[in-house]
Amino acid sequence: MEYLPNICFAVVLILGIGYFTKNVKKLIRNIKLGQDVDVSDNKPQRWKNMLMIALGQSKMVKRPIAGLLHIIVYIGFVIINIEILEIIVDGLLGTHRIGLKVFPTLIYGFLIGTFEVLAVLVFIAVILFWVRRNVIKLQRFWKSEMTSWPKSDANYILYFEMVLMTLFLVMNATDVDFQALQTGNTISRDIAPWFSGLSESNLHFVERTAWWFHILGILVFLNYLYFSKHLHILLAFPNTFYAKLTPKGQFNNLEAVTKEVKLMMDPNVDPFAASAEGTEADIPAKFGASDVQDLNWVQLLNAYTCTECGRCTSECPANQTGKKLSPRKIMMDTRDRLEEVGKNIDANKGIFREDDKQLLDDYISREELWACTTCSACIEACPVSIDPLSIILDMRRYLVMEQSAAPLELNNMMTNMENNGAPWPYNQMDRLNWKNE
Q: How far apart are CA 88 and CA 66, in angstroms?
A: 33
| 255-426 CATH | 1.10.1060
What does the angle CA 283 – CA 285 – CA 288 come to, to the nearest 5 degrees? 95
Q: Which residues contact 55 (CB under 8 A, 6 or more apart)?
A: 237
Among 3.30.70, 2.60.120, 1.10.3470, 1.20.950, name the CATH number for the domain at 4-31+63-241.
1.20.950
Query: What one-character DSSP code corresponds to residue 81?
Result: T
3-state secondary structure of 6: helix
Predicted TM-score of the model (pTM): 0.89
Q: How far apart are CA 276 and CA 325, in angstroms?
A: 43
3-state secondary structure of 251: coil
Domain range annotation of the chain: 4-31+63-241, 255-426
Q: What is the pLDDT along the chain (437 residues), one digit of tens a residue?
A: 667 888 999 999 999 999 999 999 999 999 999 999 999 999 999 999 999 999 999 999 999 999 999 999 988 888 887 888 899 999 999 899 999 898 999 999 999 999 999 999 999 999 999 999 999 999 999 999 998 899 899 999 999 999 999 999 999 999 998 999 888 899 999 999 999 889 989 999 999 999 999 999 999 999 999 999 999 999 999 999 999 998 877 878 877 777 777 776 676 766 565 555 555 556 677 889 999 999 999 999 999 999 999 999 999 999 999 999 999 999 999 999 999 999 999 999 889 999 999 999 999 999 999 999 999 999 999 999 999 999 999 999 999 988 888 888 888 888 887 777 778 777 767 766 766 65
Q: How far apart are CA 279 and CA 209, in angstroms?
A: 68
